[in-house]
Structure 1
Amino acid sequence: MEFVDVLLIHPPYHRRAGSGIIPPIGLAYIASSLEIKGFSVAIIDCALDCGSQTPAGLQKFQQYLKEKLDTITPLKCIGVGPTTTPALKSIYVLAKTLKKQFPKTPIVYGGPFASMPSQTPIFFDLLEATALIRGEGEEVFSLLVEALHQGNIGEPIPGVSWHKDDMASVALVKDVNTIPFPARHLLDIHRYRPSLRRNVFDGPITPIYWSRGCPYHCNFCVSPMLRGNRITRRTQANLFAEMRECVQDFGITGFIFYDDCLFIKSINLNQKVQQFCLALREEVGLVKWEMEMRCDAVAALTAETLYVLSDSGCHQINMGIEKASNQHLKLLNKHLTIEEIVAACQKVRSTVPDIRIAGSFILGGPDETESDIEATIAFAKNLSLDFAHFYPLEVYPGTPFFAQVVNTSQQPTTWAYQMLEDEENYWGEILYETEELPGWRLLELTHRAYDEFYNRAEWLERFAATTSGEVYSTGKTVVERWCKDRFHLSFDEAESQLIV
């Protein structure tokens, strides 16, 4: 039996064929911040071994969790996160199992879902919460643990809610350079893998962040709910020191930058990108990396900058494209144009063809018709993308679209009770449904989009030319499954597809 002060648990989510398993770096940040204060910590990442929210999958998860909890005892509290709405079914099973196993141990939740004020009652009424942390928990969690240890439940702590009517302020770390690097030593780091569309690597990978926040306010995104349009960025020296630690201590040579926008369009964008890339190569060495970047910023890069990006080890740029018309981009509050999207894709493909480009597309939304979705699919096929991911518009509490979809006569938490009772929707998303495009039709059109994009000779040829033989063989099988059914896919089915 292992005894620790704090047990941190990453709940599983419903994975699909080709999905990755990414280290819960947020929890690892919390863990390192607790360790530096003298607390002992353990992490259970349930997503490594469980990945289905079908009734059978949830039963398997409950048994798995019980076996894990029989080997460890948390002395001060249990932390659960990051919480997201699609993982509600798993979080519910986790909450009930924890309460039965450790009836007197406080349970603390954090993450995007827990940070939405309107959703606070769900955690206290349904999920056995003792407290919630709204926002960033690195500085707050140790204060909370100490308060729990002293029996001071209810002690005012910035960012902490103690009951369902307690709308605490959002906790934000002012200087991210003061946070210790994530406690990757508490994770089974070599078991993680990127998703198929992100897999440009040939060794261990990790997510990493240079910045927090996003200056944009897209109507479908929860990011502005926490930081508004404020961005905080740590120094390059601090970032590169963490990357060197990853290489030297863990053998990690693949980095996925999950910043909302690693670089933002500005007058001196090209100078900033080149300086970063040259410093990365000099300070860290030869590594592979990829990033998220808006199309308007990519379109503003010069040929020289793109060459420097490629030389520094950048192997992929992921862009949120979303729509095929300026009208529908405006309805998303995307602040992007079709012209910028086309220019970005053409510039990368013609200048540095070795850098892969991936785009995401949202199907459905205000005033959208089937013909609009057909136009989006055709647009995606004409952009010379290496990967395209299509999603029905999924709405999250706290976003403008959530208010449009949820019945205003109901409580803003009613959806959670409905979701727990709905055994058919095991991927856990709330879809933006209209009379013309109900949920079932959005899913059919999503599968059609995958089929049309990936069942093309030119795509298969490009995939074969830019991918290792092993990844190509697995990927081709996964893509075949995508074309048949992207969403109604259990974890066990996905695994069987991967080993065919």
Structure 2
Amino acid sequence: MDILLISANREKSPYPVFPLGLSYLAGPLAARGHRLRVLDLCFADDPDAAVSEALLDFMPAAVVISIRNIDNVTFPGSRSYLPGVRKVVDLCRGKAPVILGGSGFSLMPVELLAYLDGDYGVVGEGEEVLPELVASLADGASPRSLPGVLVKGEAGCLPARLVQNIGPAERSHFTVDRYHREGGMANLQTKRGCPFTCIYCTYPILEGNSIRLRPIGEIVAEIRSLVDGFGVSYIYFVDDIFNYPPEFAEELCRAIIAEQLPINWTAFINPAFVTPSLLNAMIAAGCDAVEFGSESGSAQMLRNLGKSFGVEDVRSASRLCREQGADFAHYILFGGPGESEATIDESFSLMDELEPTAVIAMTGIRIFPGTPLHDAALADGVITSRTSLLEPVFYISPPIRETLCRMVTERALARKNWVAPGLEINMSDAMLEALRHFPVRGPLWKLMKRLGRSRVKPM
């Protein structure tokens, strides 16, 4: 069967992100003998024309559209991607059955299948079930019995099935070199699943709460293929938490060192699982920057957000990074349940003490169904049971809802290492374009050391 795979993501801020989810589908489909054409809309000058041309030229028997995100999860500068995705679906409708999937789709699959008017939807990981769905379509059989498969006009689906043997991404159909050149890095996944209970997080919904580890030898081989096959010199490990389990992370680092892979890399890490031994191994393996999902500098807010660590863990991990000379950034989420001016000041005070390379601050927390934050938003009257979450809706602690952005802006502008994307403090599309002229690999926040005073809007 001829199958057109479309990556619908067009967001390039802060940098274009390689469509890893879609690349995981390409291998299993090709292994079943299907002929594939990939259309990546991220770099398309005219996405409508690109879709129409691919449909006419390839004449696929099925179209698979991967939806990475449904919006930019940024307040107050939020923007939805759904109208653009719907246009893609409209162009495909009637040409071939349209199958929707991806992490963004799986957050609200029933609502999105109806809104986008697709024919089928795949909830969760698709490596195993998508080939089965395609086979059922080819045979004229009903896919209703397949786990995680939605059918247009029919209610619900069986629970999605988690993939136990996670294979390597199949990147040969994609422009890896362009993502590396314009985005400054390639991406790679070492595990799936998250056992932690942050109240806003969708990882447990998408990947389950049990960790599934990939074989270390396979991960090292995939890194080698990126280096030798695509000229990659910088990698971002996209795991929710790279350093958990810590023993696995250290073993992987030792394997990278033994293989003498010529790469640098960065990852999100949990401050509760940073030890001198692990950090030394990470740096020796090429890690030159780490990102902490700290979310707050207030002990009370860390508890409210369901974090697995405390303020002292944040202090200790930051101190180790500074002592070892690794750049590090803290991500802060302002506005969660119980946030007040006092807890905001605690976060700024702790960041002043720790002196990270950068602080990336988000105001408001995007509400997704199925999370504890959704329940809190209902209880606090931030939303009602009738509120549509297809459009970006953010939780902001009711007492500071009208003042949060002003308070964060005033404080962040007094500090040169703070970035607040939604408020355009040291972050805007024009500034990102300017920063990309620096010869840098890895996250752009590493360049904060070269910037002068904090500012609103671009330079």
Instruction: Report if the CA contact (8 A) 1:287-1:313 is conserved.
Output: yes
Residues 1:405 and 2:377 are matched in the alignment: yes
Instruction: Report if the CA contact (8 A) 2:272-2:308 is conserved.
Output: no
Equivalent in 160, 173, 185 of residue 170 of structure 1: 160
Alignment correspondent of 1:184: 171
Give the SS at the match of 2:257. helix
Instruction: Report if the CA contact (8 A) 1:8-1:27 is conserved.
Output: yes
Equivalent in 395, 408, 418 of residue 432 of structure 1: 395
Q: Which amino acid in the other structure matches residue 26 of structure 1?
A: G
Alignment correspondent of 1:423: none
| CA distance 1:285–1:470, shift in 2 (3 Å) | closer
Give the SS at the match of 2:106. coil
Alignment correspondent of 1:82: 67
What is the 5 A alignment of 1:96-111?
96-111=87-102
Cα distance in structure 1, aligned partners of 2:130 and 2:454:
40
Alignment correspondent of 2:347: 376
Comparing 68-77 with 35-44, which one deviates more in the overlay? 68-77
Instruction: Report if the CA contact (8 A) 1:83-1:109 is conserved.
Output: no
Cα distance in structure 2, aligned partners of 1:94 and 1:480:
39
Instruction: Report if the CA contact (8 A) 2:109-2:123 is conserved.
Output: no
1:396-443 C-alpha deviation (Å, 9 max, x unpaired): 22211123335665436x233xx3xxxxxxxxx3211343232x6444
Cα distance in structure 2, aligned partners of 1:68 and 1:454:
47
Give the SS at the match of 1:109. strand
* Equivalent residues, number: 429
Same amino acid, percent of matched pairs: 22
Give the SS at the match of 1:405. helix
Cα distance in structure 2, aligned partners of 1:359 and 1:437:
23
Q: Which amino acid in the other structure matches residue 8 of structure 2?
A: P
Alignment correspondent of 2:283: 310
Give the SS at the match of 2:172. helix
Cα distance in structure 1, aligned partners of 2:449 and 2:57:
39
Cα distance in structure 1, aligned partners of 2:169 and 2:405:
37
Q: Which amino acid in the other structure matches residue 345 of structure 1?
A: S
Comparing 338-347 with 185-194, which one deviates more in the overlay? 185-194
State the Cα distance separating 1:44 from its structure 2 match. 2.0
1:192-226 C-alpha deviation (Å, 9 max, x unpaired): 1599xxx8x6xxx3110111111101101001113
Give the SS at the match of 1:6. strand
State the Cα distance separating 1:250 from its structure 2 match. 1.2
Cα distance in structure 1, aligned partners of 2:171 and 2:357:
31
Alignment correspondent of 2:133: 144
**What are the ranges of 5 or more consecutive residues in structure 1 without an aligned counterpart?**
51-59, 420-428, 461-466, 486-496
Residues 1:8 and 2:18 are matched in the alignment: no
| CA distance 1:478–1:81, shift in 2 (3 Å) | farther
Cα distance in structure 2, aligned partners of 1:10 and 1:453:
38
Instruction: Report if the CA contact (8 A) 1:147-1:155 is conserved.
Output: no
| CA distance 1:383–1:258, shift in 2 (3 Å) | same
Cα distance in structure 1, aligned partners of 2:140 and 2:186:
37
State the Cα distance separating 1:253 from its structure 2 match. 2.1
Instruction: Report if the CA contact (8 A) 1:134-1:159 is conserved.
Output: yes
Q: Which amino acid in the other structure matches residue 184 of structure 1?
A: R
Cα distance in structure 1, aligned partners of 2:342 and 2:333:
14
Residues 1:32 and 2:27 are matched in the alignment: yes
Give the SS at the match of 1:317. strand
Comparing 148-157 with 209-218, which one deviates more in the overlay? 148-157
Alignment correspondent of 1:422: none
**What are the ranges of 5 or more consecutive residues in structure 2 without an aligned counterpart?**
73-78, 419-425, 427-435
What is the 5 A alignment of 1:261-410?
261-264=241-244, 269=246, 272-283=248-259, 285-298=261-274, 301-302=275-276, 304-350=277-323, 352-353=324-325, 355-392=326-363, 393-405=365-377, 409-410=384-385
Residues 1:45 and 2:40 are matched in the alignment: yes
Alignment correspondent of 1:219: 199
Alignment correspondent of 1:95: 86
State the Cα distance separating 1:35 from its structure 2 match. 0.9
State the Cα distance separating 1:65 from its structure 2 match. 4.8
Instruction: Report if the CA contact (8 A) 2:188-2:235 is conserved.
Output: yes
State the Cα distance separating 1:469 from its structure 2 match. 5.7
State the Cα distance separating 1:358 from its structure 2 match. 1.4
Give the SS at the match of 2:330. strand
Q: Which amino acid in the other structure matches residue 247 of structure 1?
A: V
Between 1 and 2, higher relative CO (CA 8 Å, sep ≥ 6) is seen in 1
**TM-score, normalized by length of structure 1?**
0.77
State the Cα distance separating 1:280 from its structure 2 match. 1.0
| CA distance 1:478–1:92, shift in 2 (3 Å) | farther
Cα distance in structure 2, aligned partners of 1:468 and 1:65:
28
State the Cα distance separating 1:14 from its structure 2 match. 4.8
Q: CA RMSD in A?
A: 3.2
Alignment correspondent of 1:493: none
**TM-score, normalized by length of structure 2?**
0.83
Cα distance in structure 2, aligned partners of 1:162 and 1:480:
54
What is the 5 A alignment of 1:14-25?
14-16=11-13, 19-25=14-20
Give the SS at the match of 1:453. coil
Cα distance in structure 1, aligned partners of 2:398 and 2:453:
29
1:27-52 C-alpha deviation (Å, 9 max, x unpaired): 011012111111112222222347xx
